């Protein structure tokens, strides 16, 4: 007779949560086919080696599993890093921290004014003049590797500076601007390009780069279209287009930490 305990239920629940997180991560990074391929391989491996106890094929699949895990870590190191960061994301523990820390709404309001408003104002002006721009805002995952691909700025966030960097005759206007630690760190940076086939063909390289960095990291990327002037935001593998300045302000305000 098969016994089923509470520990078995917990085991199944944890396995389901892990599979769901991996599925969501690969979906956001555009590698969903890889997820289904790996899942199919694991199912065959479990059936052959654990259930049917086929020794020869089980041994072969065991070798593939040990080597395959190393290959997966190498190929998807950025996605794995992002997965681990998301598990420990401070936003998920906000309710717990409120038990130990006092509210600091005033400080958050000050950060919002110095951090959000200059970006929104610059994007509004660039949208009116149809000046193409790509701004990436770092969150939990470091963007230092991408910062090194551009020119170091290290300046206070200022709307005029942002507009001047993306001015059509500026040598840095084609690359991405990276904002981290409440400062403009670099400009003219090179970002990974998304190869997601669901992206409309009307969207150009800036939008694909914004989606690419949002798939590789947890950063938020803002795009101002040079052709239409529309403002778009890419975050966690999703691209939202035609945002108003108030919607953009709301999205950016959500990035301001509440602690």
Containing 186, the helix (H) or strand (E) segment is strand 183-189
Q: Give tens-digit pLDDT for 183-242.
A: 999 999 999 998 777 788 888 899 999 999 998 888 999 999 999 999 999 998 889 999
Closest CA to 153 of 178, 133, 128, 134: 178
Supply the mean pLDDT for the chain: 79
Q: Give tens-digit pLDDT for 119-166.
A: 999 999 999 999 999 999 998 888 998 999 999 999 999 999 999 999
DSSP for 219-236, please give it. Answer: -EEEEE-TTT--EEEEET
CB atoms within 10 A of CB 48: 19
Unique residue bearing structure tokens 């509440």: 258
Containing 153, the helix (H) or strand (E) segment is strand 151-156
Q: Give tens-digit pLDDT for 84-131.
A: 655 555 455 545 454 444 444 444 455 555 778 999 999 999 999 999
- Contact between 75 and 34 under an 8 Å Cβ cutoff? The reply is no
pLDDT band at 34 (very low <50, low <70, confident <90, very high): low
* pLDDT > 70? residue 248: yes
**How many angstroms separate the Cα of 211 from the Cα of each of 86, 130, 145?**
18, 20, 17
pLDDT for the residue numbered 230:
95
What's the mean pLDDT in 4-24?
78
DSSP state of 31: -
pLDDT for the residue numbered 104:
43
Q: What is d(CA 167, CA 190) in angstroms, rounded to the nearest whole number?
A: 18
pLDDT for the residue numbered 100:
47
List all residues 6 or more positions away from 251 whose beta carbon is below 8 Å from its beta carbon: 220, 233, 235, 243
Helix segments in the chain, DSSP class H: 6-28, 32-46, 55-75, 77-87, 94-97, 105-128, 144-147, 159-165, 205-216, 245-253
pLDDT band at 13 (very low <50, low <70, confident <90, very high): confident
Beta bridge partners of 186: 152, 178
pTM: 0.66
Output 74-77 pairs: Cβ under 8 A, ≥24 positions apart: 76/29, 76/31
What's the mean pLDDT in 48-53?
73
Backbone angles phi and psi of 155, in degrees to 5: -130, 160
């Amino acid at each position: 007779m098969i016994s089923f305990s509470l520990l078995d239920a917990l085991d199944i629940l944890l396995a389901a949560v892990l599979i769901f997180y991996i599925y969501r991560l690969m979906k956001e990074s555009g590698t969903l086919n890889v997820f289904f391929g790996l899942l199919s391989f694991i199912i065959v491996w479990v059936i052959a080696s654990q259930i049917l106890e086929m020794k020869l094929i089980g041994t072969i699949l065991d070798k593939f599993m040990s080597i395959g895990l190393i290959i997966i870590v190498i190929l998807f190191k950025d996605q794995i890093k992002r997965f681990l960061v998301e598990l420990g994301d401070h936003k998920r523990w906000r309710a717990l921290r409120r038990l130990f820390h006092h509210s600091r709404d005033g400080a958050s309001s000050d950060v919002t004014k110095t951090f959000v408003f200059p970006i929104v104002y610059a994007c509004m002006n660039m949208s009116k003049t149809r000046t193409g721009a790509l701004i990436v805002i770092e969150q939990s995952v470091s963007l230092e590797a991408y910062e090194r691909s551009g020119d170091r700025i290290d300046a206070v966030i200022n709307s005029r500076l942002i507009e001047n960097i993306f001015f059509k005759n500026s040598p840095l206007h084609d690359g991405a601007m990276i904002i981290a630690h409440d400062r403009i760190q670099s400009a003219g940076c090179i970002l990974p390009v998304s190869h997601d086939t669901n992206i409309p063909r009307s969207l150009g390289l800036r939008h694909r780069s914004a989606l690419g960095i949002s798939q590789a990291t947890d950063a938020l990327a803002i795009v101002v279209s040079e052709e239409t002037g529309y403002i778009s935001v890419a975050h966690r593998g999703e691209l939202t287009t035609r945002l108003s300045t108030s919607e953009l302000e709301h999205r950016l305000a959500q990035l301001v930490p509440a602690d």
